Structure 1
Amino acid sequence: MSRKITVAAAQIGAINRDAPKSETVPRLLALLREAGQKNVKLVVFPEVALTTFFPRHLFTSQEELDKFFEHGEDITQSPDVKPLFDEARSLNIDIVLGYAERTANGTGYNTCVYYSASEGRVLSKYRKIHLPGTKEPFEDPKAINQLEKRYFTPGDLGFKAFRAPGLIPDAAKKATAQSGESTVGKGDPILGMMICNDRRWPEAWRMYSLQGAEILMFGYNTGANMSHLWGSKPMTPEQAKVEALFHSRLVQQANSYMNACFSISSARCGLDDGKYDLIAGSSIVDPEGHVVAEAKTSEDELVVAEIDLGDCRQGKEKTFDFARHRRIETYGLIDKQTGVIEPELL
């Protein structure tokens, strides 16, 4: 069954530390309007898309730090960001937006939301679970820090797949399904969200694919040269950037294939403040692991592709027919152990 939809990754280039949201949001709006001209129905924006990637910096002022966060329960009513949601509604384009969230009790989360244009509301919220980096900055003053563990709490919403209306014409609905009729692969698209480092963890992908996810969406801010986090293997900055981009592509392509789903990744990239380099590589990958569209620059760029969710069925029903082939009685360590415990020495 053909279920076609035109989707896009809205890559965002450099954003400096002192750039206000009022300067950044118009850039997102420009990409959204370009998407409207190209009949796109779903746009994925990057992780923490409204500001520079502030967790690289150590803040001693809570007031200064809080400027990077969105406050309040409903992001669609934030004065800084409301124009983006209003334009999405006007253009009838669903969007995924990543931002730093500060809750009423003061907890910080690295968050993204899925906004449905046809519904005029947020359908789903995700909070990043796999926080990388350290809580304290490195002693080396030349190190590039990654202080997400300092500023954010691990997400508490889990990996919850959801359906989005208005994207596929004639999608099967509960009210019109005939008794005994199989509606598998015929309904509104099943979607899931992750953020940045989550894409490196196969457990996250598998949690969604066990719910039938057909499109997984995630934004990222990935350093081009994070040698203090990666280890002691000597590499030039150029080699490190190539390696970072390779790994970003690798996990997206491999997991899209192993979970028989499309994936859309959107980078916040470029050279922030003239010295903090982030990789680009925003891409759309099909259920066979092939890149069908990829960014050509490290600047603001809309990456567009028409995809057919019917292409998910081969992997879901044949190669990786979970119901027939998974052996859950053998996977006990997956949810019982975090760190590595080696076998005893010989």
Structure 2
Amino acid sequence: MAAVAAPFDRDLSADFARIERLVAAARIDGVHLLALPEACLGGYLSTLDGSADGPPALTIDGPEIKRLVSLAGEMVIAAGYCELDGDVRYNSVVCVNGDGVLGNHRKVHQPLNEDASYGAGQGFRAFDTPVGRLGMMICYDKAFPESARALALDGAQIGVCVSAWPGSSTNPAPSLAQDRWKRRFDLFDQARALENQIVWLSANQTGTFGSLRFVGSAKVVDPGGDILAGTGVAEGMAVAELDVAKALADARRSMGHLRDRRPETYDRHEMMPG
């Protein structure tokens, strides 16, 4: 499996050319599951205040997603895009392979006026794929433990989080590697994997777009919260090989964080299975 850190912008032709190169490289490495960043089809918002044009709006049954399906072949690919449904745009991530669309998630949690550009998703659902049962989220979704927990309770073995996560704008570090928002990005990835004892893929944009400077840091995290492969803040692809079912069984053998929950002791807002 692999998670990508790379730049994407409004040029869909260039975006697809980059995706084609990434898929080809992943195929050479024997990758079965590839996570691409948030908004990799058309780029992210150039500002977060709703003052600039957003990315091109695509339909889930449109030619762009069909092209992604064709590129995927036997590989399972998750990719972020701006989804148009009726008159509403959503910040979405689609999961495909050569058979078609396997799953789709609309970003639920919207930071920093993102709601000026997008409607909000309404939930988290896992779904079956040839590489295992998957759950997806987008960027800020992972800051909320309930997001990943809802997916784990729905049977997700693998969590895929696609992001356009920037560095701090109010107190930027001279080096992205030392940036406080980069540190939070990494902490969330490891915590969400460990607390739910699932495999975790985190993809992110790199470079700059508009006023934003992205922190990269794509990674694959095992169910114990250990980073198996990472790109750091540079563009690249984090590739790791593991047996998902065995990794989950090993992590949950002694202390099963899902098994040992006591929801009756939590407050009334605690999510229940099902």
Do the two structures share a fold, i.e. TM-score over 0.5? yes
Contact 1:69 1:102 survives alignment (8 Å): no
Name the amino acid aligned to 2:105: Y
What residue in structure 1 maps to residue 119 of structure 2? 153
Cα distance in 1 for residues equivalent to 2:127 and 2:179: 35
What residue in structure 2 maps to residue 162 of structure 1? 127
Cα distance in 1 for residues equivalent to 2:228 and 2:261: 29
Contact 2:20 2:71 survives alignment (8 Å): yes
Name the amino acid aligned to 2:263: I
Question: What are the residue-to-residue correspondences of 1:171-320 with 2, within 5 Å?
Answer: 189-227=132-170, 235-238=171-174, 242-272=179-209, 276-299=212-235, 301-309=236-244, 310-320=246-256
Q: TM-score, normalised by structure 1?
A: 0.72
Name the amino acid aligned to 1:71: L
Cα offset, 1:210, TM superposition: 1.3
1:113 aligns with 2:94: yes
Cα distance in 2 for residues equivalent to 1:59 and 1:202: 27
Q: Which of 20, 23, 48 lines up with 1:32 in the alignment? A: 23
Cα distance in 1 for residues equivalent to 2:97 and 2:153: 23
Name the amino acid aligned to 1:44: A
Q: Which of 39, 57, 71 lines up with 1:70 in the alignment? A: 57
Paired residue secondary structure (1:218): strand
Which has the higher Rg, Structure 1 or Structure 2?
1
Contact 2:95 2:104 survives alignment (8 Å): yes
Name the amino acid aligned to 1:150: A
Contact 2:200 2:221 survives alignment (8 Å): yes
Q: Give the aligned CA root-mean-square deviation in angstroms.
A: 2.2
Name the amino acid aligned to 1:288: G
Name the amino acid aligned to 2:185: S
1:12 aligns with 2:6: yes
Cα distance in 2 for residues equivalent to 1:278 and 1:51: 16
Cα distance in 2 for residues equivalent to 1:132 and 1:209: 23
Runs of 4+ aligned residues of structure 1 deviating over 6 Å after TM superposition are: none
Paired residue secondary structure (1:255): helix
Describe the shift of the 1:194–1:122 C-alpha distance in structure 2 as closer, same or farther (beyond 3 A).
Answer: same
What residue in structure 2 maps to residue 133 of structure 1? 112
Give the share of equivalent positions with the same residue, in percent. Answer: 26
Contact 1:258 1:320 survives alignment (8 Å): no
Cα offset, 1:10, TM superposition: 2.2
Describe the shift of the 1:34–1:57 C-alpha distance in structure 2 as closer, same or farther (beyond 3 A).
Answer: same
Q: Which runs of 5+ in 1 are unaligned?
A: 1-6, 135-147, 168-188, 228-234, 337-346
Name the amino acid aligned to 1:287: P
Cα distance in 2 for residues equivalent to 1:280 and 1:236: 15
What residue in structure 1 maps to residue 258 of structure 2? 322
Bigger proportion of residues as strand: 2
Name the amino acid aligned to 1:208: L
Q: Which runs of 5+ in 2 are unaligned?
A: none
Describe the shift of the 1:69–1:312 C-alpha distance in structure 2 as closer, same or farther (beyond 3 A).
Answer: same
What residue in structure 2 maps to residue 23 of structure 1? 14
Q: Which of 69, 77, 83 lines up with 1:95 in the alignment? A: 77
Cα offset, 1:12, TM superposition: 1.4
Contact 2:68 2:96 survives alignment (8 Å): no
Contact 1:101 1:108 survives alignment (8 Å): yes
